[in-house]
Each structure stands twice: as structure tokens, then as C-alpha cells.
Amino acid sequence: MLVVEDLVVAYGAVVALHGVSLEAKQGEIVTLIGANGAGKSTTLRAVSGMVAPRRGSVRLDGREVGGVPAHRLVRRGLAHVPEGRRIFTGLSVRENLELGAYTVRGRAEVAARLERVLALFPRLAERIAQSGGTLSGGEQQMLAIGRAMMARPRLLLLDEPSLGLAPLLVREIFREIARINREEGTTILLVEQNAHLALSTAHRGYVLETGRVALADAAPALLESPRVRAAYLGAT
């Protein structure tokens, strides 16, 4: 579904990615782990069109999309929940969700999706008329994911969904992520600081180090890998 090859991305003179290659197959949950500044968010940004790659290729369903502006990729079935959630704080929960379905034509279709997302996140249903800015951090994260799901994406990019959440809520969010993958068949590319949780949820994983892929394997294998255990799982 998604194939990234030799991706180089730079912010001005700062080169953030030095030739990253990775892949996500239909129906998979793939996770990207790595230290701060390793280039995880940059990888997602390059895939979703928020930054243009300097070199290399990003292919979605076999078609090159490197450099295609972000708003066009939404129509091709890609949704990106960016780092820091970026919900619209001045808009109501409902309006946020409706914006998620901006590319979807037809009221009935939007209503059906809204119902589905509210079933996924019942807490959002209780707060549907509240403005996004008044939600708690965890609720905002649910809103960000729910908003992305409104487009019924085939590929969902999630950037640190656990950021700033209490452990109980983190587990709840990850349960929902696994459920979305299972029930909707959505392919998920997941960036996460909590390596243990990410690798327990994902099928496969990549470890990024300073803009390069250092390791790539099935998730259970990475969980057992001494290098990963030492660097990311806090084991001695």
C-alpha cells in the first residue's frame, strides 16, 4: 500500500532524513520508533505531503505521491493525525469531525461516518457541541483520531497518540487503534515514544536513528532484540 524508498528530507540546511526506506502493506500496523529528533515526524510529514522530499520516492498504491500537496492525498485515502493533535479549538467537536469528512460528498454519508466514529469514541458523543479547546488532552486525542477516521482512510498516519496522556487512557487509545485496524481494515503507520506499547500493538516495526533506518523487523522480534531492549525499552 505504502512504499517509501531512499527518502531524503531537509528543512533548509538541516537534513532530517538521510535516505529512509520503509513499507506498509494492506491491513498492517507498522510502527516507527526512535529517539527525539530521529526523524519520525518528518517521515510522516513527507508521506502526507506536508513537506516535499528532496530525493527519493513515496508511492501510494503504486503511484508516486512525493511532492503532491497534502490536501490532494486526503482524497486518495490518506489521513494524518499530526504531532500535538492540532484539533481546531475554536470549532465544536461536531464541526471538527465534519471537517474530517471535508472531502466526502453527501450528507447521508457524512452522517453515517459520524455515527461510526462516535461509536468508536463515545466520549466525543457526550461532548459533541462543546468547542474543541475545552476538551481534556485525552479527549482531544480521541477527537484528532476520530476526525481522521471521518475521511474513512485506507492509510492512517498517527504521530504520538499517547503524548501527554495518563497510562490508563493510553491503553484505551491503543485498544481503539487496534480495533480500527481490525474492524475497518485500515492500514496504520504509527509513530510512538512508548516503544513497548507500540511494538505490542504493531505487526512490524522500524527503528529510526538520526534520519536512518537502523533496524526493521516483525514487532515481536524487535521486542526481543537486545539492541531495542537496551535503547528503547529501558531494559539492562
Partner 1 sequence: MSPRLRLLLQALPALALGYVVVRMLVGDVGGGTTLLDYLSIGVTQGAIYAFVALGYTMVYGIIRLINFAHGEFFMAGAFAGYFVLRDAGIERWALPQPWPVLLAYLAALLAAALVAGTLALVAEAACYRPIRKAGRVAALLTAVGLSLLLQNLARQWPAIGPTQRPWPAPRMWAAADEVPSPADAHYYELKTFTSPTGERVEREKPVVFKGATMTPAVRQRLAAEGGRNVFRKGELSRTVVDRSIVLMLAAAAVGLWFLVQRTRTGKAMRAVSEDMAAARLMGVNVDRVIAATFFLGAFLAGLGGVAYCAKYGQVDPLTGFMPGLKAFIAAVLGGIGSIPGAVVGGLFLGVSENLFAAEVSTEWKDVLAFVLLVVVLLLKPTGLMGRPYREKV
Ligand X SMILES: Nc1ncnc2c1ncn2[C@@H]1O[C@H](COP(=O)(O)OP(=O)(O)OP(=O)(O)O)[C@@H](O)[C@H]1O
Binding residues vs ligand X (CB under 6 A):
11, 14, 16, 34, 36-42, 83
Closest to Mg ion by CB, 83 vs 184, is 83
Residue 41 lies near Mg ion (rule: CB under 5 A)? yes
Per-residue binding letters, 140-159, with partner 1 (x by CB under 8 A): -------x---x--------
Instruction: Report yes or no: 87 and 95 within 8 Å, Cβ to Cβ.
Output: no
Residue 164 lies near partner 1 (rule: CB under 8 A)? no
Q: Which does 37 bind (CB under 5 to 8 A by kind): ligand X, partner 1, Mg ion, none?
A: ligand X
- Give residue for cell 485506507: 154
Instruction: Report yes or no: 145 and 174 within 8 Å, Cβ to Cβ.
Output: no
- Helical spans, DSSP H, in the chain: 40-48, 70-75, 93-100, 107-120, 122-126, 137-149, 167-184, 195-201, 219-224, 226-232
Closest to partner 1 by CB, 149 vs 195, is 149
CB of 120 to ligand X, least distance (A): 26
DSSP assignment of 134-170 equals GS-HHHHHHHHHHHHHTT--SEEEEE-TTTT--HHHH
Q: SS3 for 28? A: coil
Cβ-in-10-Å burial (0-12, 13-18, 19+) of 16 comes to buried
Q: Which does 39 bind (CB under 5 to 8 A by kind): partner 1, ligand X, Mg ion, none?
A: ligand X
Q: Which does 235 bind (CB under 5 to 8 A by kind): ligand X, partner 1, Mg ion, none?
A: none
Number of residues that bind Mg ion (CB under 5 A): 2
Residues contacting residue 60 through CB under 8 Å, at least 6 positions apart:
1, 2, 73, 76, 77, 78, 155
Closest to partner 1 by CB, 60 vs 79, is 79
Residues in region 88-117 near partner 1 by CB under 8 A: 88-91, 95, 98-100, 102-103
CB of 168 to Mg ion, least distance (A): 23
Amino acid at 100: G
Closest to ligand X by CB, 40 vs 113, is 40
Number of residues that bind partner 1 (CB under 8 A): 27
Pairing of β 63-64 and β 55-60: antiparallel
Q: Which does 100 bind (CB under 5 to 8 A by kind): partner 1, Mg ion, ligand X, none?
A: partner 1
CB of 192 to ligand X, least distance (A): 9
Give helix 107-120 / helix 137-149 axis angle, nearest 10°: 140
Strand-pair partners of 131: 92
Residues that bind partner 1 (CB under 8 A): 48-50, 69-72, 74-75, 79-80, 82, 86-91, 95, 98-100, 102-103, 133, 147, 151
